[in-house]
Structure 1
Amino acid sequence: MTTPMTISLWDFTWYTRTGPGEPFADLGSAFAEAVERGYDTVRVCAMPYLLFGSGLDTSALRFTGLGGEFGQRTRWYDVPDGPALDGRAHLLELFRQAKAHDCRIIVSSWEYQQSPSFGVDDAWHRAMQAVPRASRAVALADAHADLVDFVRAAGLDDVIAYVELHNEVQYSGLHAGEGVVGLRDSLELGIDRFKQRHPAVPVTVNYARVPVGEMRGLPRNMDVAVFHPYVYGVLGQLYEEFALRDTAKAFPQDRAFLELLRDGAPKLEDWRPPASWKSEATIVPHREIYTHDWCDPDKWDRWLYDRYAEHRHAMRQTMDTWLEVAADHAAARGIPLVFGEGWVGYTPLHANFEEGPVGAEICAHAVRTARDLGAWGTVVCSNAAPHHPMWQDVALQQRLNAEFRNR
């Protein structure tokens, strides 16, 4: 586990956007572009439960967005109607192309966060929800183990860097108020279950941010310490003032019209997805998607730039503290450290704060710090992937990936 991993976050998009002209229409080309930018690893939702646990027919999967134009200007949710896809065949092609391009795959699942919301019907969502919450970690472990068996039969299991039972477990359908500490026992059961089947394949879970103050709640049997250090800072101020995730507060519509939204934007209550089950199948609130869909990117970025000076020091301090705590935890456990996502937070698709001069400096500092702390792997930024505009900044990705490897 000593060779550094430079990671591009392909999430669920490698199967939701495969039509003509889409970023994953040709997986071989996507890997070639990744290698050109200095990446040697991709991290994906491998839809393990859908393919190996649900019992559903996955030979002609179809994916689509949240309905109509809803979500079509929101990062990760701008999914068009796609062609039919043989799920297992597409998974094998992902592994074949990774091997052909000398890349690795981090196998994960977003299925208790939002992946099922991209189905054309609710069968996948219903299958996930039918699993009792107390059994979900073990069910995911069984599905991942079957996935490893499947790719091993094709001689492709050496492509796996490691397996994550699930993404950001404390903010997923695995969580029911227990918090990081309360989740530990069920996650340890899931990890043990996977190890019984595949003791030689590293397995773990990952955490949003770095849960300082609750590190004792991380599974004691995890093989990799994986964290997603989104510091938010000034972006957090925007989210708080506009109550984008706090649905108990009134949405400040008039302020939003003035400070964030494009001319002609509808009111919040007039912008809704046509299919209610899709809203239930994603963790992103309606008002957050509305604001991302209808924001004026220049207004959004200007709002952040105007206030960034007030947060700059605290954001740097938070980042450094989180990365150091994460590294200390990994060292104490004697396991590798990976930053699988980061660094500022969730921004609208066409906004440029994280891709611009301030965001690029934050990315550079985080990547260098991760390198200096001896991390096994890191992203340049969560937005550095084929389905985000930042993919076009080839020079930045090449430079930071090279710096991470130069240790």
Structure 2
Amino acid sequence: MKDRRGNPVSTRSGQALDHAEMALWRMMSFFDAPLGDIDAAIAQDPDWMLPHVMRAAFMLTLTEPSLMAQVHAALDRAQALATHASERERAHLTAARQCAAGDWHGACGAWGRILEAHPRDLYALQWAHLFDFYRGDAAQLEHRPHTALRHLDADDPLRPYVQGMQAFGLEESGCHDHAESLGRQACATLAKVPWATHAVAHVMEMQGRFADGLQWLSDTEPVWSEGNGFSGHHWWHRALFHLEGLDIGSALALYDAHLAGNEDLITLQRLDGAALLWRVHLLGGDVGTRWGGLAQGWDLSAAPVGHSCFNDLHALMVLLGQDRMHDAQQLIEAAQARVDSAGDDNAAMARDVGLPLMRGLLAQAQGRLDDAVQLIAPVRPIAHRFGGSHAQRDLITQTLLACGAGRAVLDERPQTQAQTPLTQHWSRLNA
């Protein structure tokens, strides 16, 4: 049998395929977790290997250390069924195993080879796209979806989601006009495509169009605000637009309503709250007790360090915000110890980018501004190597500006050309 896009599968159950297709839609749309649909596919065909790989790959995209035991259990179950799987499905297992082992570059290469043989394999595209993002590979963020769109049918219901992917890749590659056009095109369909609304918001953030951004996210709120795992990130973008206008009060109101931590959040969902509070801290705003609230339920010990150095940096911000300098130093030492002992991609990312930034933020929080600049400035040109978007990594630039790093740093900030209130604030500080 083949799936809806002509990819070979080793199941003979049409119902199992239907459940897998629904799980794929959930992964691409971020509307609810796909685990229930994956379980339903397994129930229809217990001998089909691919749903077990789907479970593992989805959990891997969450970059949550606490899920790794479940990831490995799913991969072991998939391995037990591999004899009856198709070559394509076994290739997916190989890619997921590489990813679970910390070889994110190798996993993306493996998913890329699947796409070369099966250019309409949207499982491979979805997982490669997210790990291209985590690796800061802007070229592949644009290239893979662009290639897939050349092969997808015009009426494929998932086509708008792939357009949203390409729009984001175009924005990260600096092609703002094309990104906004394609993102709006995807949003004009009947499909709800939060990745596309998000891509357009990124363009407006990079261009300093904070009023346009607030209007855009208000107009599209019904698309992304309810039942969507990506909604918190949209609220974060909305708060950033307020900060670009130096409206700290409105930004914090959005934080309180939509980004404050609770016990049910995974680390990936907490990053935006930490990043927003850090920006407010840099501006001299009163964060109050919010750092402590965000820390509730977040394991800020040394235990999870090293799974994602991008996440580690944001955990450090929470410790610094609470003035827990000893704990912050221990977190940095744990990150260094893992770099010294591990050989995976995150160790390399932490060595080159994560650790210098962590030490720089610690210096800033301690008032050692010259030390902070010396630690952070050399890393800024290569900061994409530890993942995140331009908008997320703008936190690095703003930290330097808060340290008085100078006009040259400000001039390299894309939003500077718009002369927003935030730009004017940093200009006065770095005159």
Q: Same fold (TM over 0.5)?
A: no
Q: TM-score scaled to structure 2, two decimals? A: 0.28
Q: Which has the higher strand share?
A: 1
Q: From the CA coordinates, give the structure whose radius of gyration is larger.
A: 2
Q: TM-score scaled to structure 1, two decimals? A: 0.30
